[in-house]
A and B are shown apart, each in its own frame.
Chain A
């Protein structure tokens, strides 16, 4: 830094707040560019930059907020001015100003990050209503709205994005077809063999595929809104059309102000991301480098990095490096079908290239290797149906590693499994995360600097936080490196057991262990301290005792107040009520589905008055009675049980409530009886103890008044049955539930929920809600689907029977305790005095009592 400080900052304007535009801001902030520049960003969309790569998840439960890449606060905090919903309409290079509807804004440096726009072929009728595209959140809102009145949908274009769009239409319950102009699907990534296989798989999912079709015009349909007419005068009727026929760079601003533009579009840039005007840079999908447009996010991020260097250094060799082009290898899962393309996948860009091909028509897998003429190097690869070897192949390709003696072994099925390229074999320079430019060497450096787990490595290098394609590879590298450093990850639940909750669960189930004493006797850690001199067993602690209590309850469902179990329970479970901050308890009787008779309401009111309880309606559609003294609990419950109430388990890590809307019984819009379903489910699962509390919601139509998508298990009625959503959460870290299965009849749905819940109970950590469990579960939602819907582990029958045990052994815990004078002894505040605790002091507020 020179000693003379800059008196005035320069003005830097960035046009476009998409993925790359935002990444550029982050890079600039990180590199301290805000010292030198006043940064102003114009974004045309209403939303702050969001994760376009995962745009489709907007249809499977994520909302705009969760897709956002940043917050307004971030921009404010770093002094970057952000104008959203503000398109730039022109660039005046002579006066160095950009023009918006609001006025003119001067710049010293300008960056174009305007991305691209979907190409809509100029077919007559392509501008009709319900002809849409798939690029922005607003586009998806428009598709969702149009789909409401549609039964069929067509995607024009069978490339990567087209298939993603087709999957989305399918998810919106439309009969879906894909119309591709080339003779096969994904012509850019796969050859005719691969394309054929892909087509078969996609058709098996119920999506119609028409290849080699050129649409001539679109006109009014007879049965549907549109009719598409093809070159051979064949027709296809549909209500909705989504165009996904490629993208075009949004170079109109650059074109109008006379910057150099490529023959087929794109703003020409050099290695430093400079356009033909050195004051102006371009990055991302709008930029044309070496006559190529890069339609992926990783190269865009690399350009952002290079541009940052260019903006911060005046030399011709800027710090952050230059842009040298990028690898366009891709790995994706389209409608559950793996597709991978690496390097020169067609082998038509490498003179003398030789190929290996493997096709399995039964398992529907296709793998192709393209190798150099001497057979030593991998120059490309193509995978359909199974991407398990992708990471290995990519490393051979990207690092120019010597191929094994017989390269075919890399794609042939072998009895020992594929010869994976272990993390050990990768050179230091191996690129692990191309979005954030993280090499194996960078990861090792982070570990050397003290990182001890995957999370820390991710935080400090940002690896796998871009497109996420390297998640598995990153984990294996980190695990391997940690192991090499002798770090053992200790997952013991506490000092008394060297096991995880899941392992303890399996031990209890397999050995049929029914008490904590037996478990700690047989499986407690041998190396921890004995108590005193006696050989008496360890007691356990407040971590393992409740965890084991919960496991025992999930497996056998014996009353938690039985003598063997009572010392294990948290106070809430011991006294079957929720302790409040002054030592009193709250009482919540079960109100299944939120339906309650006037008679029962009267009883609640009477009991509350008699025992001076504060009453409040809960979020789960029941009534909470606060301020009950320990010694009053049995009498209160005596009266509640008399009136037909049961315990609501508000105190337990167990099923809480099944919230419902009023459903088709009363509501004009309801399509199913949501209240009846909610009551049925609540009665089925009441008393199920789990790693954490579980909440359900049941909505009678897609208006979703029961907010089922914020629950662990959410059910939404459709005209054909029920859709099931799982792993949602409200609370501190809200998460939308994800769609697990659609249009199920009641029996299938109940079985699916049985299995889902039991699988969660079996495999989650202690105090892990379904949402966090899901996020940590390797394989994610797909894996849950495989296990509970497709029964891939063959566990189905076992999970069913375990749930049946819990259901069959249900008994209201309060009804059980009330009959047993031994158990009721526990509810004395003092064993030698009948007076209440004089330290509980209350005061009146809004007509009720509350702690003073």
Chain B
């Protein structure tokens, strides 16, 4: 095992234990009850352990453990439905480093976890990434309203997709959110633990990170990386649903036997297992492609996204079903996953959009067996 592998094993082991203890159902329920909730205590605790910078290259001030550690941590978060902006912070650091024009102060805050990032890449009404953003960045600054974005309620910085007026081209902008021109609109959502808010900009100060073609390619890089890490979060959540359903199927007796003895239940759970393993396979391949085949990363990401959405939603929905009446109560934890599965299925663009992306790039996946 190399140093990196050891460090990776250590941090993910620790993550599993910490999250198991810290993320109680009661804590999650209290977060679900209020719009824009965020578990700041957990964030500070994990920031203290270096999670925010774990994946970031050493030259940018991180631990240099790579996307692999981010994906592993995302899997652990997903397994307990904890919400932390690890993916957002890491992806924004990557985007700023790509642009390479001196955002070192912002990067430092994101790597240390002092600041939180949000990827506010969607307009209201968008279900996928648009070529024609509605927000406008011009001489008076940034104007317009984004769709709700996770962690926007608490973030210090946002990556925003807007039309740059003077050049009539899309741009990716870095926006510091603690300024007069920014309003955070907290909405009651199916999953309030995501710290979500819509961002309402009125002549806000912003800095272009990339413009035109550069913006489009950086945007897809950001999206692909966020999607891949999120796929691990989804697979983690789906795995917990399957485990919970199997545990209950072994223990709940109906008609004199465990419900797991009925083929109606067995086949249901086996089908979920198959979905999860397909999603895991796609996610692992997508992660590997970031290094080995970056040209095709978007196609791999799309495959990871559609399979992860399917697997998590299938598992979360049927886990409730297997639990019968208990599963539809507020008190049970099963609906945390049901909510999270749908929330994650929408946040980075919905399945119909990503299926389209996958088909548009299908030739990139033709080889590689």
User: A and B: partners?
Assistant: no
A residues near B, CB below 8 A? none
